[in-house]
């Protein structure tokens, strides 16, 4: 099939590349000319394991192409995926759908035969209705079908998630579109993916509801971790005990920093805004948002307590600054609030992240990027494991840290408390 992916961000690029690897002809469209030219050269704008290889392979085999010409690309395609950003509005209320609606207006002038228009971006309920209204202003509904097909890709594991999804959700009542899309996804269905055919509004809500629930699990275990610290209980034992209950499951029950990234922060806010619009109070999710916002403040207090309130001139090292491992995504990472706050209090901060130096910290006083783990931790008073990269799981701290009175604050609990104590390391985890 001939597919057009509008937007070469995380969702559009990964989905487009994976669809091409399944044998489809895919054009990925973006209005950033430099980005498009780089992609043609195999220069990938995001860090995602395995993505570069797939781009090069399918571009070489002419199944994958990149373009800035949206109208031409849409005209050539049978199915058009809208994969542009839906960030939180500047006022913090709901999703900004400006890019979605602008794309819809461009698409309608390029419809030359029946086309399936799919929102792959995460959009609030009724967005598909609005897209349909925009396109039908100039095109008869017999020439198109607007479908919701939310993505469930995890950064760092996106390719695997695409190839082996739990489910494929298709939101449409158009029988023709449904048949075509079931055929498109047949290679994944044959591998065990559940094909869910539902209404467009239901599909839109499924994505928000799923993300809100996962955000709730993270926030819940973080709050339990707070209690564990008060009563001398290890939260890891609680997570295991809870996770073995099949009704609950173990995933997303790892205590640590506040949740961040491209999805959970904006999607929890968006679903509560939608609920408010329809005069429904999602009090649980609103509480989750508030608790998560307080999480970084609580961790900062923990840092202050570990240093007995003496932060000025202390050498603090952050190992990892992205919101999670195996991605270069800094969006809503706890480090974005923690590092500037500690800098303002006079701390001297080194940080190392496998994805390199971050623009977000370049102008902050006394914040330095180290090119390797050894140089980052060498002279530290306090080492904070912020992100659970594999690179950080087997460090010989006693050998590499010159200050023998250093403190290790493991915000991801990747080390054993017992083993650290045996090594006479002043070790502190989360919920321990």
Tens of pLDDT, residue by residue over 279-329, are 999 999 999 999 999 999 999 999 999 999 999 999 999 999 999 999 999
CB atoms within 10 A of CB 47: 17
The second-level CATH assignment, the architecture, of 2-198 is 3-Layer(aba) Sandwich (3.40)
CATH number, domain 299-429, options 3.40.50.720, 3.40.1440.60, 3.40.50.300, 3.40.630.30: 3.40.50.720
pLDDT band of 97, cuts 50, 70, 90: very high
First to last CA, the chain: 53
Lookup: tokens for 196: 């869910």
Residue 94 has pLDDT above 90, yes or no: no
Q: What is the pTM of this model?
A: 0.93
Judge contact between 71 and 110, C-beta under 8 A.
Answer: yes
Q: What average pLDDT score do residues 183-208 get? A: 98
Is the predicted pLDDT of residue 91 greater than 90, yes or no?
no
- The residue ranges of every structural domain in the chain are 2-198, 208-290, 299-429
Residue the block writes with tokens 């002038």: 109
Known catalytic membership, residue 263: yes
Q: Within 10 Å of residue 282's Cβ, how many Cβ atoms?
A: 17
CB 216 within 8 A of CB 224: no
The per-residue pLDDT of the chain, averaged, comes to: 96
Active-site residue among 4, 18, 228, 263? 263
pLDDT band at residue 111 under the 50/70/90 scheme: very high
Q: What is the DSSP letter of 312?
A: T
Nearest-angstrom CA–CA distance, 350 and 403: 15
Averaged pLDDT for residues 67-94? 94
Let me know if the fold of 2-198 is the same as that of 299-429: yes
Neighbouring C-beta atoms of residue 248, cutoff 10 Å: 12
3-state helix, strand, coil in the chain (%, to 5): 45, 15, 40
Is 3.10.20.30 the CATH classification of the domain at 208-290?
no
């Amino acid at each position: 099939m001939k597919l057009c992916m509008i937007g070469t961000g995380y969702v559009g690029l990964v989905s487009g590349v994976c669809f091409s690897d399944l044998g489809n002809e895919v054009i990925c469209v973006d209005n950033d000319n430099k980005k498009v030219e780089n992609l043609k050269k195999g220069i990938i704008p995001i860090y995602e394991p395995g993505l570069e290889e797939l781009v090069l392979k399918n571009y070489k085999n002419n199944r994958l192409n990149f373009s800035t010409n949206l109208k031409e690309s849409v005209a050539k395609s049978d199915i058009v995926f809208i994969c542009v950003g839906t960030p939180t509005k500047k006022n913090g209320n709901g999703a900004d759908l400006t890019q979605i609606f602008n794309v819809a207006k461009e698409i309608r002038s390029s419809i030359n035969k029946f086309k399936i228009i799919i929102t792959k971006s995460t959009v609030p309920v009724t967005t598909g209705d609005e897209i349909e209204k925009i396109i039908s202003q100039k095109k008869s509904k017999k020439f198109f079908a607007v479908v919701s097909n939310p993505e469930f890709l995890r950064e760092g594991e996106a390719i695997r998630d695409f190839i082996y999804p739990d489910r494929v959700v298709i939101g449409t009542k158009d029988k023709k579109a449904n048949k075509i899309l079931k055929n498109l996804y047949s290679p994944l269905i044959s591998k065990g993916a559940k094909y869910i055919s539902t209404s467009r509004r239901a599909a839109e809500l499924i994505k928000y509801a799923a993300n809100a629930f996962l955000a709730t699990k993270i926030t819940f275990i973080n709050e339990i971790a707070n209690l564990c610290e008060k009563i001398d209980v290890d939260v890891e034992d609680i997570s295991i005990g809870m996770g073995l209950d099949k009704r609950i499951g173990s995933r997303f029950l790892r205590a640590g920093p506040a949740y961040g990234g491209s999805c959970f922060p904006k999607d929890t806010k968006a679903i509560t805004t939608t609920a408010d619009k329809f005069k429904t109070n999602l009090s649980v999710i609103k509480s989750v948002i508030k608790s998560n916002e307080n999480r970084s403040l609580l961790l900062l207090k923990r840092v202050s307590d570990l240093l007995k309130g003496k932060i000025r001139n202390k050498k603090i090292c952050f190992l990892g600054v992205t919101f999670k491992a195996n991605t270069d995504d800094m969006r809503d990472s706890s480090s974005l609030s923690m590092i500037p706050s500690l800098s303002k209090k006079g701390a001297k901060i080194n940080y190392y992240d496998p994805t390199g130096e971050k623009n977000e910290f370049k102008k902050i006083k006394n914040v330095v990027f180290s090119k390797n783990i050894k140089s980052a931790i060498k002279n530290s008073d306090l080492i904070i494991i912020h992100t659970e990269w594999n690179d950080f799981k087997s460090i010989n701290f006693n050998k590499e840290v010159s200050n023998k009175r250093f403190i290790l604050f493991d915000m991801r609990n990747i080390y054993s408390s017992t083993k650290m104590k045996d090594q006479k390391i002043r070790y502190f985890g989360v919920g321990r």
